[in-house]
């Protein structure tokens, strides 16, 4: 695995702190200029997925996947869409089930290892025949889903996928989940649990005989939440089984698509097991970049364009491998 020890990312003055990097874009960043057109598609199990499109009329498209309890209007999603649009790509933000402003139809939802919905979206777009190239970009949970999709062999990877990028990828879910359970990280945990409680309450209203939020406030960490909800709803024996099966470290050696993983060393959500990925050292398709700073889905940049470093990095990486792909197609 090519390990990029010398990242080009340099944090702005006073931003060389993972907590500041993680919080600033959430509370203070706005990205104007993007107007989505929504498309709803039906999944094989008769549920639905909402896709938000921003088109330029291009023959290449990037599919974006958000993080836990995110959606297509998060600043990191809109910023990345704008960066790709600027470089001549169509872009589509995939909202995971229940994340587009409307509860999905089934009890099941989304999780760190649920790759079938991504496969549905990729297949839907590829079958239109409109695009000669597809790129995948994910953030946090979305990055984990992409890495698992590309490496676990459950679904065939279409030949039009030319590159992928994942930012703040929690490659080892067990260690990351326990890190967020620490008292020092309780503000992050409380925020996630608050959002997840709203989701569970909405599900309970639809499926009162199968799920409830009684005593939800007793849940203090992901272990308790995943043991009670994620694991039994999605067929795992418990939280530890869920984390083990869905951690992507084990799948990196099998990835055949050029893939960039960017994990900041000061990311408050990640552990050392997400920075030193020995399992993929011999895979020339996986590029690991570990900037000293950047936080969790941060990589703040101040400039006239309003574009963050992560957006520039992803677009340039995908453009570079698109060029290689086009050359290969021309001269096989």
Helix (H) or strand (E) holding 129: none
Q: Which residue has the tokens 């600033």?
A: 24
120 and 18 belong to one structural domain: yes
* Token pair in block for residue 89: 């790509």
127 and 78 belong to one structural domain: yes
Asked if 50 and 79 count as a contact pair (C-beta separation under 8 A), the reply is no
Asked if 110 and 234 count as a contact pair (C-beta separation under 8 A), the reply is no
The predicted-structure confidence for 254-285, as pLDDT tens digits, reads as follows 999 999 999 999 999 999 999 987 766 789 99
158 and 200 belong to one structural domain: no
Asked if 324 and 39 count as a contact pair (C-beta separation under 8 A), the reply is no
Other CB atoms within 10 A of residue 82 CB: 21
277 and 224 belong to one structural domain: no
C-alpha dihedral sign at 125, 131, 132, 135: negative
Final residue of a structural domain among 188, 219, 246: 246
115 and 235 belong to one structural domain: no
Domain CATH code at residue 99: 3.40.50.1820
Comparing CA positions, the residue from 163, 147, 169 lying closest to residue 68 is 169
The predicted-structure confidence for 133-150, as pLDDT tens digits, reads as follows 999 999 999 999 999 999
Comparing CA positions, the residue from 98, 93, 267 lying closest to residue 180 is 267
Q: CA 276, 279, 283: angle at the middle one, nearest 5?
A: 105
Range of 184's domain?
173-246
Asked if 264 and 19 count as a contact pair (C-beta separation under 8 A), the reply is no
Report, as ranges of residue numbers, the positions in the chain whose pLDDT lies below 70.
1, 279-280, 325-332
Q: Which pTM value belongs to this model?
A: 0.96
Q: CA 171, 174, 177: angle at the middle one, nearest 5?
A: 95
86 and 165 belong to one structural domain: yes
Report the DSSP pairing between strands 90-95 and 48-54: antiparallel
pLDDT value for 9: 97
CB contact set of 201 (below 8 Å; sequence gap of 6+)? 213
């Amino acid at each position: 695995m090519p390990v990029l020890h010398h990242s080009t990312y340099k944090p702005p003055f006073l931003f060389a702190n993972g907590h500041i990097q993680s919080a600033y874009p959430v509370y203070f960043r706005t990205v104007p200029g993007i107007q989505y057109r929504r498309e709803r598609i039906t999944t094989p199990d008769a549920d639905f997925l909402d896709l938000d499109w921003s088109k330029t009329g291009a023959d290449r498209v990037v599919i974006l996947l958000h993080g836990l309890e995110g959606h297509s209007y998060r600043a990191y999603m809109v910023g990345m869409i704008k960066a790709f649009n600027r470089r001549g790509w169509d872009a589509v933000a995939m909202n995971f089930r229940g994340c587009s402003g409307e509860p999905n139809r089934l009890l099941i939802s989304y999780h760190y290892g649920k790759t079938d919905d991504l496969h549905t979206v990729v297949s839907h777009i590829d079958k239109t025949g409109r695009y000669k190239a597809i790129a995948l970009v994910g953030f946090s949970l979305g990055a984990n889903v992409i890495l698992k999709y590309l490496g676990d062999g459950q679904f065939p990877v279409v030949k039009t996928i030319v590159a992928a990028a994942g930012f703040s990828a929690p490659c080892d879910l067990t260690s990351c989940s326990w890190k967020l359970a620490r008292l020092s990280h309780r503000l992050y945990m409380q925020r996630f649990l608050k959002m997840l409680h709203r989701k569970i309450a909405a599900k309970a209203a639809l499926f009162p005989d199968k799920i409830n939020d009684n005593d939800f406030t007793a849940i203090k960490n992901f272990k308790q939440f995943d043991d009670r909800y994620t694991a039994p709803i999605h067929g795992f024996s418990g939280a530890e089984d869920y984390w083990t099966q869905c951690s992507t470290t084990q799948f990196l050696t099998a990835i055949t698509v050029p893939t960039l993983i960017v994990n900041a060393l000061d990311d408050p959500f990640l552990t050392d097991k997400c920075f030193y990925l020995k399992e993929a050292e011999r895979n020339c398709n996986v590029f690991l970049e570990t900037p000293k700073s950047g936080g969790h889905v941060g990589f703040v940049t101040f400039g006239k364009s309003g574009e963050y470093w992560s957006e520039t990095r992803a677009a340039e990486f995908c453009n570079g491998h698109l060029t290689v792909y086009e050359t290969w197609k021309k001269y096989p």
